[in-house]
Amino acid sequence: MSVDECVAWLKRLHYLFRQLHEIFTARITSEPLYELKTAFSHHGWLCAEQATALRTRVGEMREPPLGLEAVPHPGLKLAVDEVRSAPDATALCVGLYDLLLPSLRESLEEYRQATNPLADAPSVRLSRFALLDVDDMLRFGRVAIEGLATTHESQAMDGWRELLRQSLKCAGGISGRGEETTVLPSPCYSARPWHYDPVPRRDARFHDSYNGGVNPEAFLYDERFSPRDKTLMLFYKRLREIDVPEMMASILVESPEKPWGFHHDMSRQLWDEARHAMMGEVGFHQLGIDWTRIPINYTWSLNLNTQLTAQERHAVLFFIEQGLMPRTGKRYEWEVGKESGVALASLFQDFDWADEVLHAQLGREWYVKGFGDLNSALAYGDRCWSKVMSRWGEYREQGLTQHRNWWPELYANACAILGVPPDTQAAAFCETYETVRADLKEISASG
């Protein structure tokens, strides 16, 4: 294949990875199933990594202007639009893991065989790495589809599978080197315009999601309490971070005008936050604690997604993450973890801290630079956060939650499992979020 032929093919692979990245990201917020929410966070990032590698490679091949934002063929667009518009998790997973990703896999493999391994060695290497990521995604996807759909349900989607196959065929396959067919099939799910759903949803293991009856930061910074007891609050805080991918996904979906580098870097951060949530889950699991008994609040992602613009949400995110950097933030959490004697708490907080340092850098690159200077960028973030209505009292009046204090039960349970006597002061902890937000700043009467 000539340079021109390689570039044309690589651009189509890039288009697929980029679109897959968008589809995964767009579903994180509204997908209730926790395992899918975290997997989409992971797979969105893997696709972003591959898209970036392909962009770099195309840029090396005598190409400017690169034309990487162009749609290579309406057939490819129809296939991805159909999957984007899939009406439920089952159809979405079939479209992603049973159609688009296997086709992409095949095309990467074909490319590797077709191109000259000496002349085009950098692309060969790139496709080998891409195949590793795609295979990881497919391994998960097969299990997900088995878990989600009965054979009957899966067979019922055969007509739609055929539509997707025909769309790709019409484009001459992903490579564009197959025989093109002229007639584009009629759209099914994508016949109506697609809309992003900004309202976070959770599965049945999550309950009492408006509960603000326990303020873990107040416990964490209270010198009366032991590091061992504080690890429970640390694991809770990590697990609650599942609201960050739910919120960050909305920034990405609603910022199509931002350069690719923004989307790539923010996707990395988004996946890190999903990992932090999983660290909390694993931490509880290792202690033998059933985390599903604890209400995992989601009002942060709900309120930010429905009350602020994408730019304002990014400002709040940066303000919060910047606040995690001083002595009282991530280093302190790691020190608590180290002193607790819970090895996983120490390890997870160590990596959590490292990730947050990266996130603060990304924030300076993609948020502060557009703003001018750090101080006004921070002040704006603080103002945006204050603007978010905290409806602690209203939630209770509306019957959305009783703000039950779930801490004593969790604490008693943990002490029983560990075989240690409870500390009476810790057991009596009852500070809430009624008047104090997560950075321990007083909430003003207006909001």
Site of interaction with Fe ion (CB under 5 A): 241, 273, 276, 356, 359
Look at residue 138 and give its three-state secondary structure: helix
Look at residue 442 and give its three-state secondary structure: strand
Helix (H) or strand (E) holding 361, with range, is helix 343-363
In the bound state with Fe ion, the residue whose beta carbon lies nearer, of 49 and 352, is: 352
Q: 110's torsion region: left (phi>0), alpha (psi -120 to 50) or beta?
A: alpha
In the bound state with Fe ion, the residue whose beta carbon lies nearer, of 276 and 437, is: 276
Structural tokens at position 399: 């019957």
Closest to 16 in 3D by CA, of 91, 88, 89, 107: 107
Q: How far apart (Å, rounded) are the C-alpha atoms in residues 419 and 129?
A: 48
In the bound state with Fe ion, the residue whose beta carbon lies nearer, of 22 and 356, is: 356
Phi, psi of 148 (to 5 degrees): -90, -40
List, in order, residues 6 or more apart from 41 with CB less than 8 Å away: 24, 28, 245, 270, 271, 273, 274
Tell the smallest beta-carbon distance from residue 276 to Fe ion (Å).
4
Tell the smallest beta-carbon distance from residue 237 to Fe ion (Å).
9
Tell the smallest beta-carbon distance from residue 319 to Fe ion (Å).
12
In the bound state with Fe ion, the residue whose beta carbon lies nearer, of 318 and 392, is: 318
Structural tokens at position 364: 């300076």
In the bound state with Fe ion, the residue whose beta carbon lies nearer, of 21 and 276, is: 276
Look at residue 436 and give its three-state secondary structure: strand
* Counts for the chain of helices (H) and strands (E), in that order: 20, 0
Tell the smallest beta-carbon distance from residue 192 to Fe ion (Å).
36
Tell the smallest beta-carbon distance from residue 328 to Fe ion (Å).
16
Tell the smallest beta-carbon distance from residue 132 to Fe ion (Å).
26
In the bound state with Fe ion, the residue whose beta carbon lies nearer, of 27 and 276, is: 276
Tell the smallest beta-carbon distance from residue 37 to Fe ion (Å).
15
Tell the smallest beta-carbon distance from residue 241 to Fe ion (Å).
5
Q: How far apart (Å, rounded) are the C-alpha atoms in residues 356 and 350?
A: 10
What are the DSSP calls for 78-91, one per residue?
HHHHHHHT-SSHHH
Q: How far apart (Å, rounded) are the C-alpha atoms in residues 263 and 242?
A: 19
In the bound state with Fe ion, the residue whose beta carbon lies nearer, of 82 and 356, is: 356
Structural tokens at position 437: 């937000």
In the bound state with Fe ion, the residue whose beta carbon lies nearer, of 12 and 276, is: 276
CB 245 within 8 A of CB 273: yes
